[in-house]
Amino acid sequence: MSQIRLSLVCLLALAAAGCRAQTVAKTDIDPKTDRKIEVMVRAKLTVPADYQIAIGPRMPSDLAGFDTVQITFTLPGRPDHSQTIPFLLSKDGKTLARISRWDISKDPVDLVPSADRPVRGNPAAKVVIVNYDDLECPYCAKMHAELFPETLDHYNGLVKIVYRDLPLEELHPWAVHAAVNANCLAAQSATAYWGYVDYLHTHGQDVTGPDRDLTKANATLDKLAKLQGERNKLDAAKLDACISKQDETAVRAEMKQAAGMGIQQTPTLYVNGEALEGALPAKTLWTMIDRALVSEGITPPPNEFNQPAEKQESAPGSKPTAPATAPVPAPAMAPKPTTGSN
């Protein structure tokens, strides 16, 4: 797509977020001002010469000192290439503008669902980290290692962490099956759920196996889930029935919800609504968490990233000291399955 057409496409994409005109008195724009507007719009937005521009009348806006003007861009003979976009025209006719609006009436943390999922950390914490996770994804495993135990220990009692399902099945063939099994465990025990997630994020290659046989991988996933159930004294019959059924409804509902939010990769984290994509280093993650804590009126615990420059320079490469807290226990699992040992 040429730069000219790309500029117009970007302009058209802003239409939905533009000013909302009131359906009240309209005033025609004089031909001279009409011409000024067209020339300026074509020049500033590099509108292709073959596009026609029609400028509507002035209509009152809710922005003081400005009226709304609807400008229509049309490619002759192509009705599907026509779009009307609201602009702002100053009362004196000397300034043309366009703005985008974003709804900030809701708390960002409420825009990312975190309810009805197993929680790690302090359930009453004011900072919630929601991670859209794929249990077969190596980058998710890397992010998981950043979160547990170091990040959770460092922010002891100040954060809670929730995982949501986003298996990228085109890339990771056993990820959906793993998510279903994890949810079967979660239905009875958050501890069992997290133990299973921990194990898969540290033994993914073992599950995949050298021959990459999906049937074997799924059988291994089922075996590991049942072992996790035994260790956590879950209702075996109920767990076995859930695993055997492999009901993907809930997982696919989460996948659809993530797609509706525009999430296209894993891991994707939200820290009180602020997005972070990819397995980024602790410095980036901790900076986001610190911002969220400050916004809640909480002083973040000191670390090597939020100290004054002179202190950072005095101890190059130093690691923060985690507060005294019990470490997240490693999941007690069976020996590595024979289908995936390397």
Residue located via tokens 């004089």 = 30
First-to-last CA distance in the chain? 48
| Range in 6-10, 30-34, 182-186 with the lowest mean pLDDT | 6-10
What are the start and end residues of each CATH 3.40.30.10 domain in the chain? 109-314
The CATH label, of 1.10.1660.10, 3.40.30.10, 1.20.58.410, 3.30.70.3450, for the domain at 109-314 is 3.40.30.10
Percent of the chain at pLDDT > 70 equals: 82
Q: What mean pLDDT, rounded, does the chain reach?
A: 85
How many other CB atoms are found less than 10 A from the CB of residue 31?
A: 8
Torsion angle defined by CA atoms of residues 115, 189, 333 and 137, in that order, rounded to the nearest 10 degrees = -20
pTM as predicted: 0.69
**pLDDT confidence of 78, banded at 50, 70, 90?**
confident
pLDDT recorded at residue 311: 55
The pLDDT of residue 305 is above 70: yes
Nearest residue to 210 via CA among 49, 19, 54, 341: 341
The domain defined by 3-97 folds into Nuclear Transport Factor 2; Chain: A, (3.10.450)
Q: Report the amino acid identity of residue 189.
A: S
- Within 8 A by CB and 6+ apart from 162, the residues are 114, 117, 118, 119, 120, 128, 129, 130, 131
pLDDT recorded at residue 1: 45
